[in-house]
Every structure is written in C-alpha cells, then in structure tokens.
Amino acid sequence: MKQLNEKVAVVTGAGQGIGKGIALCLAKRGVKVVCTGRREAPIQQTVAEIEEAGGQGLAMACDSADRARVEEVVKAAVDTFGSIDVIVNNGQAIVPSAPVEDTTYENMLAAWESGTIGSLNYMQAAFPYMKEQGEGRIINFASATGMFGIAGQLAYGSNKEALRGLTKIAAKEWGQYGICVNVVLPGAESPAAKAWAEKFPEEYQKQVMLNPMHRFGDPEGDIAPVVAFLAGPDSCYYSGQSVIVDGANSIMP
C-alpha cells in the first residue's frame, strides 16, 4: 500500500479557498498534485506556491462538467506523475439563493453539473487506473446546507445531498477494488464566507460566536489535514462515510 508521500492527487477547485488549502496541504506532505479549476490564473498561482514550498504540481484548467476534458486531466496526471491515487472533488459552482418555487432549471443544472455530475466524471475517469492498481481514494465534498435543509438553497443543497448518495453507493461497489470513497462536510472560512462577512458583519460575528470554538475552520490548517488522512494509507478500512469538519457547529442543541 502506498504511503501518502508516494501518491498523486487531482484536486478540483484548487484556485482558492478549501481547494487551494487542500492542494497546499497535500503537496507539503509529499503528494504530487494536479490542480484544476475553471480559471487558469488561480490554479497557476496555487501550483507556484506548491513549487515554492518544494512540492510538485501541475495546473490544468477544466470544467468538471466537460467529460472529455476530465479524461484529459486524469490521463495527464498518469502521464506526468505515473499514477492517479486520489481524487478530491471540491469544485462547485455557487448559484443564487431562491425559494423552491422560484428556483430555475438553469440554476439547478449549473449546481448539479458542477457538483454531482462533475464529481462522477472524475470518479469514472479515475476508476480504471485505481481498479488496476488495487487501491484508490475518492473524497467528495457535501454541505450542511443539504443535510439540514437550509431554506433558499434548493439547487445547491439537493446537489450536495445527491453527492452523499453517490459516495455511499460507490463505496459499496468499489470497495472490492481497494477504493475508499468518503464525503467531507466542511465548515470553513471560504471566499464565500469572507464575502458574506464583509456584507453582513454583525450577522457573521453572531454565527462565529454560535460555533463552539468561536471561529470558522481554516481551509489548510483545519479542513485539509482531514482530507490528508482520508487520502493516506491509514484510512484503508474507512469508506462510505460523511465526515463533518466544523468544530462541532452542526451538533443540534
């Protein structure tokens, strides 16, 4: 079984926030990281930071809904670094909030194509390689928005719950090949959270104080190390699980 520092990972949405934190964290632990995102400049910056820290990275612009391009990314990982061991499906389009009756087909499609469908694209593209080597790690990203049914978030939340279903079914089917599939639900100081804080500082501070730890998680320091565990050899019997990383914020009173 490969050690973490022998592995190659693809991280989607690696140009900012949680994805960038994961890419940097894995690279500092010796993982060779293929950074993807829809915009070239941010992922190039992430790779530059990886290389400055002594790691190895590759930037490839990719819309996860584009199956042909996803296949190219996975093949490039294998051609460049020799294997594909870890897929981190973090990338997700953020769509406008709306009540159920006003949610548009276009916003539903945008959320699902970038989330559930995009994640499935990467999973299916990596599967033949992982099956052949008898080992693989897939880490999907869901949200408390779907788990707890946050009003106004139908497109985003229903997509995230579908990702949890996808994760469990894939874990059941692919466990025989040594492929572990898990899903992380993060509570982090993401770019979206920072934008919200600037717009609604009082409400933001209220939410921070409601967290038992009185802070939101740091993408690289708090969320990414859990992903590193799920990507490594010590998680070889841990699969099909929803891992909530939010400082106990989601525990109901």
Residues labelled catalytic = 156
Rounded Cα gap, residues 145 and 101, in angstroms: 18
Contacts 24+ apart (CB under 8 A), 149-155: 151/99, 152/97, 152/98, 152/99, 153/97, 154/98, 154/99, 154/100, 154/103, 154/108, 155/95, 155/98, 155/103, 155/107, 155/108, 155/110, 155/111, 155/112
As to burial, measured by CB atoms within 10 angstroms (0-12 exposed, 13-18 middle, 19+ buried), residue 61 is middle
